[in-house]
């Protein structure tokens, strides 16, 4: 099946007074039509910067794409003009941001914000756009849509605001929906409802989803394919069942081991030792080497490539080079 989106050797850096931060460093990833791909990793691993690079929003955040390509339906998004990208953003590719309260304009009514993409991309008149906005608000499970459309963001709960963000994102029938931590700061019940809503909308429209999260429970529930990021790089990727059943990279193993197990008493929760490296002090080594229980001499001096491991996984780890050497 032809890929909907192909990220190839993406490099997104931030220039600071202290030096260059390599926020996304040589990331490659593919998303097929109708597929849900999850990017998982700790805060600061480069998940959201990858999404913002796809959306063409990185320069407004002070960063710059230094290399690579992002192919969306045979178009390199990085080579499009601002106007060309504007016709795609919000229409063919839409994004749900992780903080709905700060993502919505506090001085505009909900209706004005849902109507805007409909008028911009669907070329609807204001009356038709308002009618469609009410339908969308109902579609995402908000009752009293006729009243909610005239409310301001501060009058709604976090869960309702997130549903409004989803309504805005799906308003133009995107082929790819990027959801950046869509359940952050929501209680467990509302989290489950939001994930059910995304799954339902995907089933109805056939759109692809790029879901960014640090929650392995969300990954297990939603993903077809998962990419694990650490310090700006993908260290492991593969089909979700394979990753959970048999993780290959020591970092992935640590993440899965850190997750509490239901109905099982644990004297102490496991945590990966050490800290994520300072992005200004990265060297030509495996970035995980000083936290890894299986660290070898080569890990401290040379960076491993992402290579096939098993039938449906790739991992960037020298352990597998050693296995090949002595096989």
- Cβ proximity of 21 and 14 under 8 Å: yes
- Cβ proximity of 289 and 297 under 8 Å: no
Q: Is the pLDDT of residue 315 over 50?
A: yes
Q: Mean pLDDT throughout 146-174?
A: 91
* Torsion 39-43-47-48 (CA) sign: positive
Q: Quote the CA–CA distance of 221 and 106 in Å, as a whole number.
A: 33
Q: Quote the CA–CA distance of 87 and 275 in Å, as a whole number.
A: 41
Q: Mean pLDDT throughout 22-41?
A: 95
Lowest mean pLDDT among 69-78, 188-197, 296-305: 188-197
Q: Mean pLDDT throughout 232-242?
A: 96
Reduce the DSSP state of residue 250 to 3 states and report it.
Answer: helix
Which pair of tokens denotes residue 62?
Answer: 């002070």
210 phi and psi, to 5 degrees? Answer: -105, 110
Nearest to 38 by CA among 183, 146, 193: 183
pLDDT at 122 (0 to 100) = 87
Write down the CATH superfamily of domain 5-92+172-326: P-loop containing nucleotide triphosphate hydrolases (3.40.50.300)
Q: Taking the C-alpha atoms of 164, 165, 170 and 171 in order, what is their torsion angle to the nearest 10 degrees?
A: 60
Q: Mean pLDDT throughout 188-206?
A: 88
Which pair of tokens denotes residue 87?
Answer: 């016709």
pLDDT at 325 (0 to 100) = 52
Mean pLDDT of the residues in the chain: 90
Q: Which has more pLDDT, 260 or 160?
A: 160
Q: Is the pLDDT of residue 327 over 50?
A: no
Q: Mean pLDDT throughout 83-98?
A: 89
Specify the pTM.
0.91
Domain ranges of the chain: 5-92+172-326, 103-171
């Amino acid at each position: 099946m032809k890929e909907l989106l192909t990220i190839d050797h993406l490099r997104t850096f931030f220039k600071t007074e202290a030096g260059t931060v390599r926020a996304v460093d040589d990331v490659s990833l593919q998303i097929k039509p109708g597929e849900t791909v999850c990017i998982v990793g700790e805060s600061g691993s480069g998940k959201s910067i990858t999404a913002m690079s796809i959306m063409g929003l990185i320069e407004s955040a002070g960063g710059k794409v230094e290399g690579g390509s992002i192919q969306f339906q045979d178009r390199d998004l990085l080579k499009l003009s601002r106007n060309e990208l504007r016709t795609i953003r919000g229409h063919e590719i839409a994004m749900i941001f992780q903080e709905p309260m700060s993502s919505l304009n506090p001085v505009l009514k909900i209706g004005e914000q849902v109507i805007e993409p409909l008028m911009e991309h669907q070329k609807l008149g204001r009356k038709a756009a308002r009618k469609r906005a009410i339908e969308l608000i109902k579609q995402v499970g908000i009752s009293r849509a006729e009243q909610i459309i005239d409310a301001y963001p501060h009058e709604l709960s976090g869960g309702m605001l997130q549903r409004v963000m989803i309504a805005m994102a799906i308003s133009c029938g995107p082929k790819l929906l990027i959801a950046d931590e869509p359940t952050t700061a929501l209680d467990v019940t509302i989290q489950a409802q939001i994930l059910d809503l995304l799954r339902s909308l995907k089933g109805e429209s056939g759109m692809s989803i790029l879901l960014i999260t640090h929650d392995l429970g969300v990954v297990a529930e939603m993903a077809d394919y998962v990419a694990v990021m650490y310090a700006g790089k993908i260290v492991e990727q593969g089909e979700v069942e394979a990753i959970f059943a048999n993780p290959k990279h020591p970092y992935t193993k640590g993440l899965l081991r850190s997750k509490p197990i239901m109905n099982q008493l644990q004297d102490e929760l496991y945590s990966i030792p050490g800290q994520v490296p300072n992005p200004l002090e990265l060297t030509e080594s495996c970035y995980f080497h000083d936290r890894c229980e299986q660290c070898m001499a080569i890990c401290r001096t040379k960076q491993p490539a992402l290579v096939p491991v098993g039938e449906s996984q790739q991992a960037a780890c020298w352990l597998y080079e050693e296995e090949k050497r002595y096989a």
